[in-house]
Structures are given as C-alpha cells and as structure tokens.
Amino acid sequence: MSDFWWRLMKYQTKIHQYDPNLDYTTGFEGVPPVQMASAQHPQHLKQYLQGEYPPQFWAFEGKDASVQHGASAHRSDDEGTFLDVGVRSFEPVGTEQKVGRMATPDEMPDKRNIVVRRRSAADHPRHKRNMEKDIRRRNAERKKRLDLKRRATGGLSPMDMLRRRDMKMLKEAKSRAAKEHRRKYETAYESTPARKKYRRELERERRKRGVAGKGGKDMSHTKEGTIVPEDPHTNRARSHPSVGSTLKMVRVVKEQKKLFVQGQKTLDGQPAFTPTDFAAEERRRQAALKEAKAKEQRMIAVQQHEAMTNEERRADHEAKRLQQKQAREAQQLKTAEGNATLPLRNPE
C-alpha cells in the first residue's frame, strides 16, 4: 500500500485535512481555518498524523509554512522535501514569542484539525547551500580517511600492495632454470667450511642432550653464542635477513630461568645455561617496591594537605619553616665547631 492510500484510509479521511484553504468560509461547516503553520522534517509525518506533538511546537501565523524555513538542514531531507504542518483553530494557539508562537501538546488541537502536506524546497538557495556544505563535509571526511589509509600503507595503491604480497608469498623458484640455479647455489653454500662447522655444533649439542635422532625441538644459536632448544616452526621461519637467524635474547633469559629453577643439567653434569643473577633481580625488585612506597606516601601527603583548612595549612607551613631554620642553625653551629682552632698542648 502506498503512502498516500495509507494516509487516506487511516488518518486523513477528510479532504480539508489536505488543503489549508478549505474551512467554514468555503462551505465546510464547523471546520476552523488554519491559523498558523510550521515546517518540520519528513521523518515526523506519522507522529503528526497520529496527534503526537513535540513538547514545544513552534509555528508562524499564516496558512503556509515558509519555504526558507523548510529549506534548513534539520527540517528537510536530502531531496529538499519538508512537512508543512498547519494548525486549525478559531484563535491562534499557544503563546506569542519574539519570533512566531509556541504551543505545548495540551494546547494543540485534535489530530483531525491538523493539515500535513509534503512540500519541496529543492530549488531554494538555502537548500542548495546546505547540500554543497554537506558535500564538502563528506569530501573532507573521505580525504581524511584516504590520508590515514595512505599513511598506513606507505602511499601504495591496492595493486602495488597485492604485488608486494605476491612477492612475499613467492618463497620458491617456479621455473625449471631457477630451481636448478637455486639447487646449485644451496649445494655450494652448504659445502663451505663455516656451514659444516655450524651443523656439527648443532648435531653435537643434540647428542649432548640425548635427543639425537628423536626429532622434537631444533637446536638454535643465540646472539650470545650458546645453543638452546626452540620450536622448529619458529626457528625455521626466522631465516629472512631482515629478521635474523639467532634467537631473541628475551626468550633466552626466560629459558635460562626455567631450566635453572628446575635444575635441569646436561649429560656431563653441568648446568644447561649460565644461572641468572637473582641477587640483581632482587635488588631491582626492592628498588621498585621502595619507589612504589614513596609514591604512596606522596599521595597520602597530598590528600592530607587538601583536607586541611587554611589555618591548619598556615600553621603547618610555619612549623616547617621553624624546623628548617633550626636545621640550618644546627648545621652552622656544627660547621663552626669543626673550623675552630684546637688549643695548643703545653710543652713539657
């Protein structure tokens, strides 16, 4: 059912509810004339047809609402359509204000004496200015989003990002010649004395730990030159030059603490890693606790100072000044005594 037939069958059942010019003077007996009209947003159509009015209904005297009033941004939609709400009464309702009249819901008439029409302000300059302003605002928001996206992507277009992603995903050579070139390079590289020594160290560590030939975790070199067990997926994923080929020291420290606390040892009876300096950690912990306690004391002092009255604050200030003065005098006296010449001993 269209909007027109819905209104005709349910709410606007009389013809004078559509035309503000029809009243008792034009042959419609008992129908009061339209005394004032107001421009409202189209989203409030159903409320006005049902007799649901806002707490303050502002209107101007006359049968038609001003198109300039209806062309404002908050009274018309994007197409420039607004509602012309006319109020029928034999006398103007509400109280007169500096601009127009204002009526409360109790002062408004029955819904059968309300004329609700759709009107257009699309050609009004005010609506055109509002639309241009809205377009500028949307363009500014779009430009801001694009700038944020450009900063996040480094100024790359979506196609460039796809190309880079495809290049990163290209981990193996595809052509036959490229595969053969890579195989020859890896054969020559793994045959160097440095790589052979590297593999011997790892295999020696696996035999030392008793896990040779049993799978499990890989043996991974650290930046300190030691060898620690590491998950194979994590170890072999760290093969790109930008990432590095050694285990991060943070994880090494965690592994050291874990093995030292549990007392794990290698086959020769020696600790698997250098023990962590727990004395230094205890000193850092004590320093942190001392700083936290001092911060708490400062907070308590601030709260106590804020809770004091002006007289108490002045008295406290005077007491602190007196204490500082006594401390200075004591220091001066001590300094004077230290600088005094000692009496000469009587010669014998």
Give 117-142 pLDDT, tens digit per residue: 888 888 888 888 888 888 888 888 88
Checking if the pLDDT of 268 tops 70, the result is no
Alpha helices, H only, 210-309: 232-237, 249-262, 278-307
Could you read off the pLDDT of 200-214 as tens digits, one per residue? 888 888 888 888 888
Cβ proximity of 80 and 134 under 8 Å: no
- Six-digit token string for 196: 């052979």
Position 264 scores a pLDDT of 47
Average pLDDT of the residues in 161-181: 65
Closest among 83, 121, 114, 99 to 3, alpha carbons compared: 83
pLDDT class for 170, splitting at 50, 70, 90?
very low
Measure the N-to-C terminal CA separation of the chain; round to a whole number of Å.
Answer: 134
Q: Which of 50, 74, 58, 142 is nearest to 107 (CA)?
A: 58
Average pLDDT over residues 163-176: 58
Q: So what's the pLDDT on residue 111?
A: 81
Least confident range from 9-13, 19-23, 175-179, 256-260: namely 256-260
Q: What is the mean pLDDT of residues 253-260?
A: 47
**Taking 50 as the threshold, does the pLDDT of residue 158 lie above it?**
yes
Q: pLDDT value at position 272?
A: 46
Closest Cα partner for 92 from 82, 83, 102, 84?
Answer: 102
The pLDDT assigned to 269 comes to 52
Average pLDDT in the chain: 77
What's the rounded mean pLDDT across residues 4-10?
A: 57
| CB contact at 8 A, 112 and 56 | no
CB atoms inside a 10 Å sphere around CB 28: 15
Helix (H) or strand (E) holding 314: helix 310-339
- 49 three-state secondary structure: helix
70/120 Cα distance (integer angstroms): 8
pLDDT for 249: 45
At 155 the pLDDT is: 67
Whether 251 has a pLDDT exceeding 50, the answer reads: no
pLDDT recorded at residue 37: 87
> What value does the mean pLDDT take over residues 151-158?
69
d(CA 61, CA 20): 13
Token reading at 63? 């049968």
Is 318 a residue whose pLDDT tops 80? yes
Report the candidate in 23, 42, 40, 50 with the shortest Cα–Cα distance to residue 111: 50
The residues near 235 (Cβ < 8 Å, ≥ 6 apart) are 218, 220, 247
Percent of the chain surpassing pLDDT 90 = 1
- Backbone φ, ψ for residue 59 (5° rounding): -150, 165
pLDDT exceeds cutoff 60 at 106: yes
Residue 84 contacts residue 37 (beta carbons within 8 Å): yes
Q: Taking residues 156-181, report their average pLDDT.
A: 66
The pLDDT of residue 165: 55
Beta carbons within 8 Å of 271's beta carbon, 6+ residues apart: 259, 260, 264, 265
Confidence band (pLDDT; 50, 70, 90) for 248?
very low
Looking at the predicted structure, is the pLDDT value of residue 4 above 70?
Answer: no
pLDDT digits (tens, 9 = 90+) for 274-302: 455 667 778 888 898 898 888 888 888 87
Residue 159 has pLDDT above 50, yes or no: yes
What is the rounded CA–CA span in Å between residue 233 and residue 219?
A: 12
Q: Residue 48, exposed/middle/buried by CB under 10 A (0-12, 13-18, 19+)?
A: buried
Whether residue 240 is predicted with pLDDT greater than 60 in this model: the reply is no
According to the model, what pLDDT value does residue 261 have?
A: 44
**Is a pLDDT exceeding 60 seen at residue 257?**
no
pLDDT digits (tens, 9 = 90+) for 28-55: 888 888 888 888 888 888 888 888 888 8
More reliable by pLDDT, 78 or 252: 78
Which residue would you say has higher pLDDT here, 271 or 93? 93
